[in-house]
Structure 1
Amino acid sequence: MAAFIAAQRDTYRVPHALSCRALGVSQAWFYKWRHGDASPRHARREQLKIAIRRWFATHHGTHGSPRITADLRDEGWRVSQNTVAALMRELGLQARRKQTTRPGRGKWRAPDLIRRDFPATAVNRKWYGDGTEIKTDEGKLDLASVLDMGSRRIVGFSLGEHHNAELAYNALVMAVAVRGGKDAIAGVIMHTDQGSEYTAGTVRAACTRIGIAQSMGWSGSALTMP
């Protein structure tokens, strides 16, 4: 992940501070990596924080440590509920009551091709797309990201002032480029929620053109069954 952050500055001129903030890791950890002294334990802790943030955002802040721990274990993490609870407190994440919503009638949606079988045995088999809002000193930013479950690494992301299809499309394009192009990722499943950014024609057309099979969970949650 640290190498990915470094590459963003070299390739796209994205400042280290912005990438660290967007991916939920500390700048101190990144600078330690640059000097070769970041411990595996610390690196794992930072990756776990990213996963917790992602699950918390996926469930729109309605799930506490028990449910998030279960989701993490489904992904393949070996982690205790106490550890998840402690990290959530450290991150300032507190579950709130869930408001039930229903998908709009007549809205296009992809079938659920994952059905809670989250782990992947190889890269470029299962990708997960998600979006979240990030508060910065300069104001609000929206982050769209693509996670490869085979490596549990973010392979594409895009930052902008608006949460829309263009942001999701840009993250997808970066993921395809990072993973070697259309031929290298043929057949990958892209699992998301039913948000308008993923049902939009721009993203649907791109997935069809590249050969990505879209998959969707229940409304508001990319990683649950319908």
Structure 2
Amino acid sequence: MSPRVDGSPNSEPRSPSTAAPPNCSRKAAPHKAIRGGHGDRLRGAVDPTRLPRARGVRVRLLRLERPRSSPRAIRQAWLVDLIREIHVESFQVYGSPRVHAELTLGRGITVGHNTIALLMRRNGIKGLPNRRHPRPSHDTPTAVDLVDRDFARTAPNRLWVTDITEHPTRVGKVYCAVVLDVHSLRVVGWSIDSSQTAALATNALGMAISNRSPLSDTMIHSGHGVQFTSWTFTRRAKESGLLPSMGSIGDCYDTQSMP
């Protein structure tokens, strides 16, 4: 006689629906999306495609797309390449004004000056500085103005004026220093050289002294150039008994009697 399963006091009730099978894992948590915190670190440290597919767990992934270049960005990159090419060809001398002139006038590209300046500034492309500083005036002692723009004289050898002029030739520039008698408007001394030196002005004065016999009150009027304020020119004039006179600085009317 077989033992009874149902209704027997010695039998134990079995419920197949509630009995847990062996080696069964713990129930998964409810549906949750991994957001922030550990989820961000998980996405950065672990490949999501290799995570175990647990039931009821979703992993939210972010799809990163490569940004598309706009036509404006493409044109600016093209202009930067042209700017670098021109800058190298000019031995890194050209700034934005000259680069803009080369692009517009030399290569026929329509572009604004501010755009070129902005692109050069962003990419660290610079030309040589062209800052003009005021030229300092020399501290050499000079003579006073004894003429005061009164060039009328009634006799020769009363007033001489001197200046240096530049003349272009086929072989280069030459400089001519002239000493002029304002009474007769006659050249009494001259000298030509390829450079403006104190010897150029002194040689012209020496010729005038040799051709004429200056008086004790003969004045030699000049500008404030370094050739006329030099020690050699001043000494030659004083040794001959001439009275040095100099006009105002940067004023062409003080030697207007020169042709």
Identify, as 1 or 2, the structure richer in helix: 1
CA root-mean-square deviation = 1.9
Q: Greater relative contact order: 1 or 2 (C-alpha under 8 angstroms, separation 6 or more)?
A: 1
How many angstroms apart in 2 are the aligned matches of 1:222 and 1:147? Answer: 16
Matched, 1:178 2:208: no
Contact 1:127 1:190 in 2 (8 A): yes
Task: After TM superposition, list the pairs within 5 Å mapping 1:1-226 onto structure 2.
Answer: 104-180=137-213, 184-221=214-251, 223-224=253-254
Q: Which has more radius of gyration?
A: 2
Residue 12 of structure 1 is matched in structure 2 by none
Contact 1:192 1:216 in 2 (8 A): yes
1:103 shift after superposition? 6.8
What runs of 5+ residues in structure 2 fail to find an aligned partner? 1-133
What is the letter of the counterpart of residue 123 of structure 1?
Answer: P
Contact 1:193 1:223 in 2 (8 A): no
How many angstroms apart in 2 are the aligned matches of 1:159 and 1:190? Answer: 19
What is the letter of the counterpart of residue 198 of structure 1?
Answer: F
How many angstroms apart in 2 are the aligned matches of 1:161 and 1:105? Answer: 24
What runs of 5+ residues in structure 1 fail to find an aligned partner? 1-100
1:105 shift after superposition? 4.8
* Number of equivalences: 122
1:119 shift after superposition? 1.4
CA pair 147-168 structure 1, distance change in 2 beyond 3 A = same
CA pair 161-207 structure 1, distance change in 2 beyond 3 A = same
- Determine helix, strand or coil for the equivalent of 2:161: strand
Question: Per-residue CA shift, 1:80-126, capped at 9, x if unaligned?
Answer: xxxxxxxxxxxxxxxxxxxxx87715221110000011111111000
1:223 shift after superposition? 4.1
What TM-score comes out, normalization by structure 1 length?
A: 0.50
What is the letter of the counterpart of residue 145 of structure 1?
Answer: V
How many angstroms apart in 2 are the aligned matches of 1:123 and 1:148? Answer: 7
What TM-score comes out, normalization by structure 2 length?
A: 0.44
How many angstroms apart in 1 are the aligned matches of 2:158 and 2:252? Answer: 16
Percent of aligned pairs sharing the same letter: 38
